[in-house]
Each structure stands twice: as C-alpha cells, then as structure tokens.
Structure 1
C-alpha cells in the first residue's frame, strides 16, 4: 500500500496494576469497584488511561494507584508484568494495556477515589474460584501476576520480607503456602530451605512462645540456588 494511502490506527494505552500482599495468612490482590462505565459496579484492577502523549508509563502507574486506591506507588517496586492488546478486550475501542506488578508486605487499607466507587483487598482464591468476577480481561492479568509472584518465591528470597526480623522455619513455610496456594510437607521444606546457601541464617536464639523452635534471619543471598521448586499440585 502506498504511504500516502496509509494512516496509523487509533490505539489507546492504559496501565493496569497487580498489587499483591499477605493478609490474615492469604494472598490478597488490590481491587477497585468501577464507578463509571463500562462495567460500572464491577470489580477490576486499579489502572487507567495515560493522561497525555507525554506521560511516562510508570508515572501513570503511580498516579493511578494513588488516585484509585490512595496508595503511594513510589514506595513500591513496580515491575512490568506484560502487555495486553487482544482486540475487543475493551468495549471503548482498540486499547493496549501495560500491566505492572508489585508484591510487598504491610500494605495499608486502600481508599477509593476518582472513578473508583470502592477499593479493597481481596483474596486471590476468591477470584480463582469464580466468587469474584473482574471486568475486562483483568482476571487473566491477575493470574499472570500471581504466577509471577509464585515464581519469585521459587527463585528469590522475597518470602523473608513477609516475616519478622527473626522467624521460625514454620513461619517462613506459611508464607510459601499462602502464595503458592498449597500445603507443604514440613520435613521436605526444612530440608530444602537448609540446602539453599545464604537464604536464611541461624539467629542463635529460640522462640519463647509455644514449643521452642530455632530462630533465623534473612541471609545475604537475593537469589536462591538451587531454587525452591513448588510441589506438585500447587495452583
């Protein structure tokens, strides 16, 4: 086709955010209730359109997180999760979304704003079980984010961030169980954890509550070699 007969397609760009944390021993995702059409009243991931042609993608992600849920995105490590552009994914037109992921401990209660009618933490298991439906293709994006988080626990020391300064191996195991969505054999877990050099180090003390157990601290290794592979049957 000659250049003078070609015009670029109109494509709109959005950002969507998968923000994960642990609450009450479960892996939770930040969701907002949409206050405007399309999908008004339905739950979705926080996100929205870029303000203008000059706004950086990550700047837009921080802005949307603050506007829709009242959270400070600058305090989170946001990493790009993927790009989603299947035709028809948004009834407003040809929309491509750049998704970001963050998983962090101790995140506060969200506060809805702008076009969000509500915001809350929701166990990801409720979405996986179909008890909570998400607008657009946000269930796909959330699933991809959860899978990335689960892989991070296999290959990095991220799980120790969800424990105290000192912790027992049982407490560390509960973090893995919450994120992986599966029960873990304590003996196998203890053996695997102890086999990863630099992952955790003994603190030299024992827990004073309940049955005495050795206390550990996070080691110096950020990457796990060998990785802690998920057991079969992990969701």
Structure 2
C-alpha cells in the first residue's frame, strides 16, 4: 500500500501561564495549539493540527486549510519545517504516513482568535503530555529550530507588534532561549545588525521611563528562502524609443 501524504503544523505563540496569570510581572511562555484525536490510532491523545493532503491542493494550502478547520487560525506566514516519513513511525501498523510539517509564530492578539474548546487547547511547549504519533519529536525539533534561528534572523518579529521596544524584543529572545540575555550586549548586537530601525516615537506609561520604539526594516525578508524566494517585482519600462 502506498504511503499517505499528510501535513501537520506547529504554531508557537507567546502567552502568559494561565496558572499564574494574576502574578505581577509574569513573563509569557511558548504555547502551541493541539487537537485531540477522536479515532485510532492514538484515540484520545493530543496531536498537532493537520490531515491528509487532497489531490487538488498544494502542501502549503493543505497546511493552511487543516489549521483553519481545526483552530480557526490564519497565520500570515507558514514555513515548511521538515518531512517526517520513517517507515517505523509510531502508528505505522495502521498504514504508513509521510508528514510534511509546517510551522509559524504568531502574536498574543492573534492567538486569542484561536478556536478552543474540549477538542482544541493551548498547551505549554515545555510541559507537553505524550502526544500522538511522533509529534513530541516534531515539537522538539521545531523548538530547536526556533532557538537556533532567533539569534540570527527576524523570526522574533512574528511574536511582536509592528513597533516594539528593545526591552520587549530582548524578552522574546529570553523566553525562546530559556535564559537571560545581557541587555547592553543585546542592544549593541541588534543595532549593529541593521535589522531594526528607530521610529522616532516612544512608549510611555507603565513602571518604566519612556522607551524608544523600533520596527523591523521591511526591506529585509523575515526568513531567507534562498532560491525559493519570490522574484522581485520588475518596474515597468517604457517601450517608446529615445529620440
């Protein structure tokens, strides 16, 4: 029997820990939405959103569709993470499945739009139960990729609004990396990278003094797709002959 081709999606968001959300100064943590399986194999286990690929759709389209059907989320950007297709994957006795996994990061405001309930729930990425299939391994790989990319790419932008302070950007790095980051060194590295530019505005209010607001340089792509990146738009040229 030919293997079944399916897609799954890992969506990370920074959300407060619901067990201590009332605590002052509580930092957000990495969470992801999971769905409960309602049939064998792994009936009753939590799993990543996903499903089989339809004949008339592309991989990214299938990832977007299954994510929307299960969680109601519409991330602006999905990136292909990896393909998992070992012949001895858990559940292979019910038929071999090759899963192409996508991932994305979203902000807290977008995360609040997710459909949740008995069969869909946000779980902390570092406190997951035993998931269906090899989905624990998939999440571990996605976390590893996130932590290695956050220090050299614009990937943290997905967790923030259009404008942010360097303190907020540093806190994203600290949550993702799971360790403190020296503020002075972080400021020097960010400013030297040229990835963020000052807006000329400040954020006031709260316990801290007004802080400079920054934004990411939109001329820099959030992820380097190499030869897979879309070609730049060509400016229209005149067909008139020069006299």
TM-score by shorter chain over 0.5: yes
Deviations 1:132-156, CA, capped at 9 Å, x for gaps: 2211111111122222222332222
Partner residue of 1:232? Answer: none
1:66 aligns with 2:68: yes
Consecutive unaligned residues in structure 2, runs of 5 or more: 17-27, 223-243
From the superposition, tell whether residues 193 and 13 of structure 1 become closer, same or farther in structure 2 (CA, over 3 Å). Answer: same
Distance in 2 of aligned mates of 1:70 and 1:205: 34
Within the candidate set 166, 172, 182, 2:169 is matched to 172
Question: Could you state the TM-score of these two structures normalised by the residue count of structure 2?
Answer: 0.74
Q: CA deviation at 1:208?
A: 3.4
The equivalences for 1:79-118 within 5 A come to 79-89=79-89, 90=91, 91-105=93-107, 106-111=110-115, 118=119
Question: Could you state the TM-score of these two structures normalised by the residue count of structure 1?
Answer: 0.77
Number of matched pairs: 206
Deviations 1:187-219, CA, capped at 9 Å, x for gaps: 322232232224232635363332314312114
Distance in 2 of aligned mates of 1:189 and 1:18: 28
Deviations 1:150-191, CA, capped at 9 Å, x for gaps: 233222223244334443322211111122222222232223
Distance in 2 of aligned mates of 1:109 and 1:38: 30
1:121 aligns with 2:118: no
From the superposition, tell whether residues 222 and 156 of structure 1 become closer, same or farther in structure 2 (CA, over 3 Å). Answer: farther
From the superposition, tell whether residues 149 and 66 of structure 1 become closer, same or farther in structure 2 (CA, over 3 Å). Answer: same
Q: CA deviation at 1:86?
A: 0.9
From the superposition, tell whether residues 211 and 133 of structure 1 become closer, same or farther in structure 2 (CA, over 3 Å). Answer: same
